[in-house]
Amino acid sequence: MTAERLPAAQTPDEEETLPGRRGGLDFLGTLTIAWRAILGSPLRSVLTALGVIIGVAAVIALTAIGSGSTAGITKSLESLGTNLLTVQSGAPRFGGGGLVRGGPQQTITMKDVEAIGTFAPNRIAGVAPSSQSNVQAKVGSSNLQATVIGTWPAYETVRNSPVATGSFFTQDDVDGRKRVAVVGYQIVTDLFDGQDPVGQKIRLGNVSFTIVGTLPDKGNTGFGNPNAQVLVPLSTFQQRLSRGARSGTSVTVSNVYVQATDKDDLTNLQNDLTDLLARQHRIEDASSYDFNVQNQADALASLNATTQTLTLLVGAIAGISLVVGGIGIMNIMLVSVTERTREIGVRKALGAKPRDILTQFLVEASLLSVGGGLVGLALGVGCAYLGTLVNITPVFSPATILVAFAFSALVGIFFGYYPASRAARLDPVDSLRYE
């Protein structure tokens, strides 16, 4: 009897009871079905996932560039000197003001500088008043626009700016108003073809200076160009180069850098210096101060606060784009369910349960969004490295990457659920007849 060999009618005694039957569709099978559907229309799948791709890429790239530039700024802030207080002209500003130069009117006088210098010698490691102006630097026929800073020898330690070759100018140079200069890296490369210029002459404005030292390459940290700096004695600067900045009868400076001996004393010293200058300027009301004392730690803190706000904003934008991407997925999945109504009908006729169909479409949507997340991840990392073109080294945070990725997967499940449940609820009779 051939019925044994061939798929013929079962005899009743060899049959199991229906509900006890093992099985249903296994996960691998579901995955294969979904994968085939995605590969079946590659262009549409890419377009569907595009929202998620862009969303994830945006989060990863923007946060990496954001933290990269924060790290860069933090590093350059710290390289400006440690335990640093900066006394500037202008009313105090709160939040982020430390990066901006003082107001137009210079109010810090040399008398203030003296007062600071004698105020608390054991708490202060160094004082370096400074004034600056943009001057043409000339050697032979070549020239460039240099930032000439008049200051004291303490600048070397207070601003963490040691020389690369030669030596810093001395207190004698300041006292004698000598025309000596320490030049930045770009002066060496552009005006001396990279040769050590110590002992050579350089014209700053109309005044000839002798170069006694050079500064190392400080890179372009985003605060003007420190490589185009020329440091000269403050006294020489005031006599020969400044445009006679004065307050009353007293000569003024742009700012005064003060290095505290002890890091923990920084805030107290900041308050004490503020009180001192208030007495010097005879101002009692804090709201009418014409100077301010910036603390490096404050600047860092406000920078961090700014960065955090930015990160939040980026996160919000990315979240929105992921939601939009999810709606894109839902949209296409709805179209796809309608288009594949017949397929759904056939599958149901062949034994697919509503659950099987639900899982199939849900897995398809999730695969799309997870795939989109992966592509977005790669794209985001690639885009972040574009930041190196503007000297920002991207910093990737595993947490951000993980969250962006997990979120994209969730988006697929969330927005895939409605189309999938619609597919699952389709009536087999209607869907088989669907043209």
DSSP 38-87: HHHSHHHHHHHHHHHHHHHHHHHHHHHHHHHHHHHHHHHHHHT-SSEEEE
Q: Which two tokens stand for residue 429?
A: 């009779």
- 246-247 β-sheet, strand order: 108-109, 250-253, 246-247
For 104, the enclosing helix (H) or strand (E) is none
d(CA 325, CA 372): 10
Of positions 100, 320, 386, 429, contacts another protein by CB under 8 A: 429
When asked if residue 354 is in the footprint of another protein (CB under 8 A), the reply is: yes
Query: Please, which residue, 411 or 424, has the CB nearer to another protein?
Result: 424
When asked if residue 6 is in the footprint of another protein (CB under 8 A), the reply is: yes
In one-letter notation, the amino acid at residue 174 is V
Question: Token match 């962006």: residue?
Answer: 404
When asked if residue 42 is in the footprint of another protein (CB under 8 A), the reply is: no
Of positions 8, 144, 312, 386, contacts another protein by CB under 8 A: 8
Contact 234, 131 (CB under 8 A): yes
Give CA angle at 235 (229, 240), nearest 5°.
75
Whole-number minimum distance, CB 70 to another protein, in Å? 49
Query: Please, which residue, 112 or 364, has the CB nearer to another protein?
Result: 364
DSSP 390: G
Of positions 77, 352, 363, 411, contacts another protein by CB under 8 A: 352
| Interface of this chain with another protein, residues 325 to 344, rule: CB under 8 A | 342-343
When asked if residue 350 is in the footprint of another protein (CB under 8 A), the reply is: yes
d(CA 134, CA 131): 11
Question: Token match 């980026």: residue?
Answer: 314
Query: Please, which residue, 12 or 244, has the CB nearer to another protein?
Result: 12
Whole-number minimum distance, CB 386 to another protein, in Å? 38
d(CA 332, CA 10): 44
When asked if residue 31 is in the footprint of another protein (CB under 8 A), the reply is: no
d(CA 129, CA 153): 10
d(CA 32, CA 25): 11
Whole-number minimum distance, CB 345 to another protein, in Å? 8
When asked if residue 43 is in the footprint of another protein (CB under 8 A), the reply is: no
When asked if residue 263 is in the footprint of another protein (CB under 8 A), the reply is: no
Of positions 78, 144, 355, 382, contacts another protein by CB under 8 A: 355
Binding string, 123-152, against another protein, x = CB under 8 A? Answer: ------------------------------
* Segment interacting with another protein (CB under 8 A) among 26-34, 66-74, 92-100, 128-136: 26-34
DSSP 120: -
* Segment interacting with another protein (CB under 8 A) among 12-20, 112-120, 139-147, 215-223: 12-20
* Segment interacting with another protein (CB under 8 A) among 9-17, 151-159, 217-225, 316-324: 9-17
Query: Please, which residue, 39 or 399, has the CB nearer to another protein?
Result: 39
Q: Which two tokens stand for residue 26?
A: 């296994």
> What separation, in Å, do the N-terminal and C-terminal C-alpha atoms of the chain show?
43
Angstrom CA distances, 294 to 125, 299, 369, stand at 17, 8, 48
* Number of residues lying near another protein (CB under 8 A): 40
Whole-number minimum distance, CB 353 to another protein, in Å? 4
Query: Please, which residue, 23 or 244, has the CB nearer to another protein?
Result: 23
Angstrom CA distances, 253 to 96, 110, 112, 367, stand at 22, 7, 10, 64
| Interface of this chain with another protein, residues 147 to 206, rule: CB under 8 A | none
Q: Using CA atoms in the order 92, 96, 97, 99, what is the torsion angle rounded to 10 degrees? A: 150
* Segment interacting with another protein (CB under 8 A) among 33-41, 47-55, 65-73, 396-404: 33-41
Residues making contact with another protein (CB under 8 A) = 1-3, 6-10, 12, 15, 18-19, 21-26, 28-29, 36-37, 40, 342-343, 345-356, 428-429, 432
